[in-house]
Structure 1
């Protein structure tokens, strides 16, 4: 398709690398996002007093394991919810193949 549209031959590895760079340019770099996670956790702790923010990394390699974030407002409001809890997860479609888990409760006033 590239040859017919532009008259140039493009090797598989060159096309793959160009596609990877384009995806990083559009969606951001996964490695950089994990690197910035320490900064994000520090900002959350500093600006959202009472929130629970726990970041776990491998001690020796500093590789991300998991993060737990519960904003103070949501956490404090949770005690006013009906005892119905729904858990949902979704697979994150990045090269790291992680999972995002969400917990949802029903408001007692509704």
Structure 2
């Protein structure tokens, strides 16, 4: 029996650990997905580190995103850096976010 990593992400969403992200431009415009959203000054790794930029971690299967696509999170609009695979490179992707003014 194999373990489906997406079940972990679904459980995180069910418990309120993920944030709704709306795609504003690009091939997936109008869609939304759930992501692990990090913002500057957010303490991570049990207090041993601090986030330095806006970023999201999401599942490849949930949405297609590219560099310079724009997303909204809690009413704030961001432009994506180049999304990059993370972990084993098959399930999750991470992208830095630049606030759009």
Q: TM-score, normalised by structure 1?
A: 0.31
Q: TM-score, normalised by structure 2?
A: 0.32
- Point out which structure has higher relative CO (alpha carbons under 8 A, 6+ apart): 2
